[in-house]
Amino acid sequence: MVLEVDQVSKSYATRKALDGVNLSVAAGEFVALLGPNGAGKTTLFQLTSGLFVADGGRILIEDRDLRTETVAALAGIGLVFQQPTLDLDLSVHANLRFHTRLHGMDTAHAERRIQEELERLDLLDRAADVCRTLSGGIKRKVELARALLHEPRLLLMDEATVGLDPASRRGLLEYVYGLCDTRKLGVLWATHLVDEAERASRVVVLHQGRLLCEGTPQELVQQTGANDLSGAFLKLTGKSGDSKEEND
């Protein structure tokens, strides 16, 4: 397993954002964390990425406890947040180079990895472009390239298609599915859009901070007696899975 979440809980004042959540991601596995807005998906990502500390439970990244082996555990994660995080006044290359410095990569290694990821995403000709001039879809691809530079084993994608046009959303999803096959990355993909979970290895349904159900898309359909995954999601949460995009 590249990620194990064991009985993780988190509260904000009197509100329980996560309540004893368990989930795992194996190498090469695409796990869709499916939940309506406000389900706790972003809170889980904030805990897994070390931005906040869980009130209870533990998070293991490649068998490293995030609480006690923080630096080593975080080195195994690549992350794309829901909100854009590029420095818009820097070029694509400068944004990527800054990331490699944070990970202590020497210049030769950093430049090689930057070239490799830009080439794979068909972005070599955009390296000198200032990020402010890029479309939303290209910015997301740059953020994905940045997340992969240090060759993590776990990729966290937090509502990463928010604000993208249908073609860009589909292209990003297909590329990440390909990473599971070609690089054996473990992927945790948070979304409230059911169609993004239909090909997942497993689907974990989160609602009001609690894990309601998990299994393959087909297993969730069978367990709920629904006709399809959208119907299963509706039965489990009372939500249609195509609500307007908002923050958790």
The CATH number that applies at residue 42 is: 3.40.50.300
pLDDT at 194: 93
Q: Is residue 55 part of a domain?
A: yes
Domain span including residue 125:
3-237
243 found inside a domain: no
Query: Is the residue at 248 inside a domain?
Result: no
Backbone angles phi, psi at 84, to 5 degrees: -60, 140
Helix %, strand %, coil % of the chain (to 5): 40, 25, 35
Q: What distance in Å separates the CA atoms of residue 44 and residue 33, rounded to the nearest whole number?
A: 10
pLDDT score for 248: 42
- Residue 90 domain-assigned (yes or no): yes
Taking alpha carbons only, the member of 217, 153, 225 closest to residue 188 is 153
Which residues 6+ apart lie within 8 Å of 7 measured at CB? 20, 21, 22, 56, 57, 58
- pLDDT of 227: 93
The pLDDT value recorded for residue 242 is 59
pLDDT for 38 equals 83
Please list the ranges in the chain whose pLDDT falls under 70: 239-248
124 Cα distance to chain centroid? 24
In a domain, 246, yes or no: no
Residue 247 is assigned to a structural domain of this protein:
no
Q: What is the pLDDT of residue 229?
A: 93
User: What's the domain count of the chain?
Assistant: 1
Residue 197 · residue 229 · CB < 8 Å: yes
> How far apart (Å, rounded) are the C-alpha atoms in residues 237 and 233?
6
Per-residue model confidence (pLDDT) at position 162: 84
Residue 223 placed within a domain: yes
